[in-house]
């Protein structure tokens, strides 16, 4: 039986002259290589923690290397026992998740079956996607409207966007009026048959979040995502009492117990786990069971790279309460598109890959071409912002200056 011989984290990044928005500028890939020379692929999130996550992979690797491949779940449980801060460490959980995904990819390839079969079998062969990332360089309402119409013309029937520009913690009357104008423009442009999903990015104090929610209820969004600062999550109960639109969240929750707690306390309507930081497929099965027990819709968070998308589609296929799937693909830069072959989003839907493992082929020459040691760029907008929505960017301006390179 093959053994896990090596676990490696690989950072890839946009070319220096690419001008990628910070949310699309780096990707952390993870490979697990067996004694037979087979390679499985995983991915970990970035968002201003590219290097800490990459370094955490080396810690996780110590529990996996030398084990039989089919014993990879034992390595995960051993890491649980040793990793004292795991339940509160995004870095540890992201590294663990990426390795778990890569191990499942390997097992599926060895057995000749997609990961969805390992998870119990697909319930669907296609999933509906919602577009994100489409509104870069949009500030004025008419800019949001024009870009939204283009996305709908491309087949998407659900659009997520952040209308709040640079408002943070508090929300001025002018800031709220501007947000309302943007959402109104998008609703008028796409009509009533397209779902609008409002992204708050976990940015507001409770009073501001409720004020925004009550104002935007009028446009009948399908959900509002992370309306309050995550450290003030108990205030979500107040938000749900005062705002009609359902609450979605989950990208910052790390364990199945976190999801159970939020559902049990009535703090969330729609779950948005991120497969790359909530324990990969191993914890993903548990989270799916919790969601099913509560009847909670699941819309996986998926904001990073193509290996993450491929992995997420495999778990989408088996979710009893699948709702929607996030997609940035239509707004990706070319360098990121080149990394993987094997899935597409067309007409606002993904077809679930059916080839073994994750169902994809990674272009290793592209991975080598874009291999990097950089730190994600900073300023003038935070890395979680869609570029050009806080500060107007000139089309002739140089891309954001990268931070200094760190060595490991």
Q: What is the mean pLDDT of residues 174-191?
A: 98
Reported as a single tens digit per residue, the pLDDT across 16-52 is 767 677 777 899 999 999 999 999 999 999 888 899 9
Q: What pLDDT score was predicted for residue 408?
A: 34
Q: What is the mean pLDDT of residues 310-328?
A: 98
CA angle in degrees (0–180, nearest 5) for 282-285-286: 95
Higher per-residue pLDDT: 284 or 375: 284
405 CB-near residues (< 8 Å, 6+ apart):
373, 374, 375
- CA nearest 179: which of 233, 224, 239? 224
Check pLDDT > 80 for residue 400.
Answer: no
Q: What pLDDT score was predicted for residue 182?
A: 98
CATH code, domain with 327: 3.20.20.120
- CA nearest 167: which of 177, 159, 158? 177
Cα–Cα distance measured from residue 259 to residue 289, given in angstroms and rounded to the nearest whole number: 11
Tokens of 332: 């990706």
Peptide bond into 380 cis (omega under 30): yes
Which one from 51, 72, 104, 301 is the annotated catalytic residue?
Answer: 301
CA dihedral 288, 291, 295, 296 (to 10 degrees): -110
- Residue 153: which domain range? 117-358
Q: pLDDT grade, residue 79 (50/70/90)?
A: very high
Reported as a single tens digit per residue, the pLDDT across 219-228 is 999 999 999 9
Check pLDDT > 50 for residue 404.
Answer: no
User: In 10 A of CB 408, how many CB atoms?
Assistant: 9
Check pLDDT > 90 for residue 399.
Answer: no
**Which residue reads 């290996």 in tokens?**
307
Is 314 contained in some domain? yes
Tokens of 228: 């309050």
Q: How many domains does the chain have?
A: 1
pTM of the model: 0.95
Q: What pLDDT score was predicted for residue 377?
A: 75
- How many residues belong to the chain? 408
DSSP for 209-237 reads HHHHHHHHGGG--SEEE--B-GGGGGGHH
Is 295 contained in some domain? yes
Which one from 51, 104, 201, 294 is the annotated catalytic residue?
Answer: 201
95 CB-near residues (< 8 Å, 6+ apart):
9, 30, 44, 53, 56, 57, 59, 60
Task: Lay out the sheet containing 26-34: strands in order across.
Answer: 4-13, 26-34, 39-44
Query: What sign has the CA pseudo-torsion 224, 226, 228, 232?
Result: positive
Is 364 contained in some domain? no
Check pLDDT > 80 for residue 150.
Answer: yes
Is 291 contained in some domain? yes
Q: What pLDDT score was predicted for residue 395?
A: 55
Reported as a single tens digit per residue, the pLDDT across 209-222 is 999 999 999 999 99
Q: What pLDDT score was predicted for residue 386?
A: 94
Q: What is the mean pLDDT of residues 58-77?
A: 98
User: In 10 A of CB 51, how many CB atoms?
Assistant: 22
12 CB-near residues (< 8 Å, 6+ apart):
26, 27, 29, 339, 367, 370, 371, 372
51 a catalytic residue? no
Q: Max alpha carbon distance in the chain (Å)?
A: 65
> How much of the chain, in percent, has pLDDT values that exceed 90?
90
Strands (E), 214-357: 223-225, 247-249, 270-271, 325-327, 340-341, 345-346, 349-351
Q: pLDDT grade, residue 118 (50/70/90)?
A: very high
DSSP for 120-153 reads T--S-SEEEEEE-STTTT--SHHHHHHHHHHHHH
Check pLDDT > 60 for residue 257.
Answer: yes
> How much of the chain, in percent, has pLDDT values that exceed 70?
96
Q: What pLDDT score was predicted for residue 403?
A: 45
Tokens of 359: 């169902």
CB-based contact 129:324 (threshold 8 Å): yes
Average pLDDT, the chain: 94
Is 7 contained in some domain? no
Q: How far from 14 is each of 20, 238, 373, 387, 394, CA to CA, in Å? A: 7, 42, 11, 15, 19
Q: What pLDDT score was predicted for residue 25?
A: 85
Q: What is the mean pLDDT of residues 309-334?
A: 97
Is 385 contained in some domain? no
DSSP for 183-199 reads HHHHHHHH-TTSEEEEE
Check pLDDT > 90 for residue 300.
Answer: yes
Check pLDDT > 70 for residue 401.
Answer: no
CB-based contact 63:57 (threshold 8 Å): no
Tokens of 93: 């959980």
301 a catalytic residue? yes
Is 100 contained in some domain? no
- CA nearest 196: which of 253, 246, 235? 246
Residue 205's φ and ψ, nearest 5 degrees, are -65, 155
Is 152 contained in some domain? yes
Q: What is the mean pLDDT of residues 292-299?
A: 98
């Amino acid at each position: 039986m093959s053994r896990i011989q090596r676990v490696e984290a690989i950072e890839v990044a946009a070319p220096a002259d690419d001008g990628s928005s910070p949310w699309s500028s780096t990707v952390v890939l993870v490979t697990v290589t067996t004694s037979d020379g087979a390679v499985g692929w995983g991915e970990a999130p970035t968002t201003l923690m590219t290097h800490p996550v990459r370094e955490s992979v080396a810690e996780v690797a110590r529990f996996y290397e030398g084990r039989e491949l089919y014993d990879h779940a034992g390595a995960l449980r051993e890491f649980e026992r040793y990793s004292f801060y795991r339940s509160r460490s995004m870095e540890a959980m992201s590294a663990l998740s990426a390795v778990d995904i890569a191990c499942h990819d390997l097992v599926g390839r060895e057995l000749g079956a997609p990961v969805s079969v390992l998870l119990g079998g697909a319930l669907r062969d296609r999933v509906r996607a919602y577009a994100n990332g489409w509104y870069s360089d949009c500030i004025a309402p008419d800019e949001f409207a024009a870009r939204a119409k283009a996305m709908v013309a491309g087949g998407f029937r659900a659009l997520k966007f952040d209308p709040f520009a640079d408002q943070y913690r508090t929300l001025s009357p002018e800031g709220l009026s501007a947000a309302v104008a943007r959402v109104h423009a998008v609703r008028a442009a796409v009509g009533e048959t397209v779902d609008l999903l409002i992204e708050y990015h976990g940015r507001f104090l409770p009073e501001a979040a409720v004020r925004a929610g009550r104002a935007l209820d009028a446009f009948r969004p399908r959900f509002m995502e992370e309306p309050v600062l995550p450290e003030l999550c108990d205030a979500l109960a107040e938000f749900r009492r005062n705002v009609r639109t359902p609450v979605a969240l989950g990208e910052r929750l790390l364990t199945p117990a976190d999801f159970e707690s939020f559902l049990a306390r009535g703090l969330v309507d729609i779950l948005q786990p991120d497969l790359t930081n909530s324990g990969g497929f191993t914890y993903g099965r548990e989270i799916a069971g919790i969601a099913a027990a509560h009847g909670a819709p699941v819309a996986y968070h998926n904001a990073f790279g193509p290996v993450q998308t491929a992995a997420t589609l495999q778990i989408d296929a088996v979710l009893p309460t699948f709702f929607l799937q996030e997609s940035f693909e239509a707004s990706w830069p070319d360098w990121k598109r080149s990394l993987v072959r094997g899935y597409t989003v067309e007409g606002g839907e993904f077809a679930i890959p059916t080839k073994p493992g994750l169902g994809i082929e990674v272009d290793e020459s592209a991975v080598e071409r874009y291999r990097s040691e950089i730190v994600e760029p900073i300023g003038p907008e935070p890395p979680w912002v869609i570029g050009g929505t806080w500060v107007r960017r000139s089309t002739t301006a140089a891309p954001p200056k990268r931070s200094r390179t760190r060595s490991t």
